[in-house]
Amino acid sequence: MLLNDKQIRQLAEKHRMIDPFVEKQKHQGVISYGLSSFGYDIRVAEEFKIFTNVHSKHVDPKNFSPESYIDVKVTGDHCLIPPNSFALARSVEYMRMPEDVFAIAVGKSTYARCGIVTNVTPIEPGWEGYITLEISNTTSLPAKIYANEGLVQLVFLKGEKPDLTYNLKGGKYHKQNGITLPRI
């Protein structure tokens, strides 16, 4: 069952599912964030890991090198992602997924129309932590990503509690704090 704003609000209040929770979508002068009719637009925090080839490393998900990226802390209102490049970031919101709720993240159209593609893996029942956000700049120009504004929308689905939730299986990304790199 797809959850609407009333149901999302109830879960946020009862389980602290989204913290901090913005009850009414903010959209004046910003890329929207907060509660919408059938989802929740999460914000991107000020920390980014931008991939670089300055050390001539390769990307290996089983043996990821910290020399594959540079850390960037936003001092103004945005981070510039280089042309044809990729960055990791994290959500402002800390998530605590109830054991019968699953979320899917989809990119916001404002960024998609600028050639910026976002990808977030599914957010499983029982998972907790900050969401690591993946951002691809598919254009040949530098792209601005605005810190503390909306980046992706979460769509929530509710079903019967599964036998094995993320926290029970000891998932490797459970309770992640900050931008989390690939783990085996």
- Known binding residue 166? Answer is yes
Sign of CA dihedral 22, 23, 28, 32: positive
- Known binding residue 132? Answer is yes
- Known binding residue 109? Answer is yes
The residues annotated with a catalytic role in the active site are 134
- Known binding residue 11? Answer is no
- Known binding residue 149? Answer is no
- Known binding residue 113? Answer is yes
- Known binding residue 7? Answer is no
Output the known binding site: 108-113, 132-134, 153, 166, 172, 176
Output the known binding site for dCTP: 108-113, 132-134, 153, 166, 172, 176
